[in-house]
């Protein structure tokens, strides 16, 4: 994702003590990076969409047709809701360490509150919330920077057109012309 101030300001928290709602923070005199609150906002957006996909479990059998582009005009079918839920879980599993994933699974996937998580994981309340914020930051950044098809922005994941010309996209088959005699 192209990180600019205009991309980050809409996701920033107005009460953030680091960026004061601007969405970017200075790490050096000349370099601005997205604030951690932006990554947490990206994670929460993706997580809310994941929960919608899971809650509609019985109604997720809808198949969507995707245009692959190119001169052949090929199409592909997919089940976007199931694919999104699977991508969300698989990316989370790959990015997080074992203790982080255990906390993620208990709190985000199984829906346990902080008291139950603290009791099961034998950690205090402050450590729990620090770890939750850290997990949200890690996954938010990864969901936005995932290549070739990121999970964020969510609307592009569900309604985007697959472009063969993109790097890492579908390869264009060579056009075979008949040989003239």
| Domain housing 53 | 43-159
Question: Would you say residue 121 lies in a domain?
Answer: yes
Residue 174 domain-assigned? no
Distance CA 21, CA 17 (A): 8
166 found inside a domain: no
Residue 91 and residue 87: Cα distance in Å, rounded?
6
The total of structural domains in the chain comes to: 1
Q: How many angstroms separate the CA atoms of 102 and 71, rounded? A: 47
Q: For 134-156, what is each residue's pLDDT tens digit?
A: 999 999 999 988 888 788 887 77
For residue 33, being part of any structural domain is answered with: no
Per-residue pLDDT, 1: 65
- Asked whether residue 47 is domain-assigned, the answer is yes
Tokens matching residue 154: 């969510």
CATH number of the domain to which 66 belongs: 1.10.10
Q: Is the pTM of this model over 0.85?
A: no
Q: Report if residue 18 sits inside a domain.
A: no
Angstrom distance (rounded) from CA 14 to CA 17: 9
Q: Is 100 contained in some domain?
A: yes
pLDDT tens digits for range 95-111 = 999 999 999 999 999 99
Residue 18's pLDDT band, with cuts at 50, 70 and 90, is confident
């Amino acid at each position: 994702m192209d990180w600019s101030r205009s991309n980050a300001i809409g996701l920033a928290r107005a009460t953030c003590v680091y960026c004061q709602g601007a969405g970017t923070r200075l790490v050096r005199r000349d370099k601005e990076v997205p604030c951690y609150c932006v990554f947490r906002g990206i994670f929460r957006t993706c997580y809310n969409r994941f929960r919608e996909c899971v809650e509609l479990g019985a109604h997720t059998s809808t198949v969507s047709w995707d245009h692959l582009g190119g001169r052949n005009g090929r199409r592909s079918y997919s089940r976007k809701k199931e694919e999104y839920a699977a991508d969300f879980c698989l990316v989370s599993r790959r990015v997080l360490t074992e203790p982080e994933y255990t906390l993620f699974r208990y709190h985000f996937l199984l829906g346990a509150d902080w008291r139950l998580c603290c009791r099961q994981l034998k950690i205090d309340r402050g450590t729990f919330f620090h770890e939750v914020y850290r997990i949200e930051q890690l996954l938010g950044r990864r969901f936005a920077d995932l290549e070739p098809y990121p999970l964020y922005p969510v609307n592009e994941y569900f309604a985007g057109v697959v472009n063969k010309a993109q790097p890492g996209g579908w390869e264009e088959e060579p056009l075979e012309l008949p040989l003239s005699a």
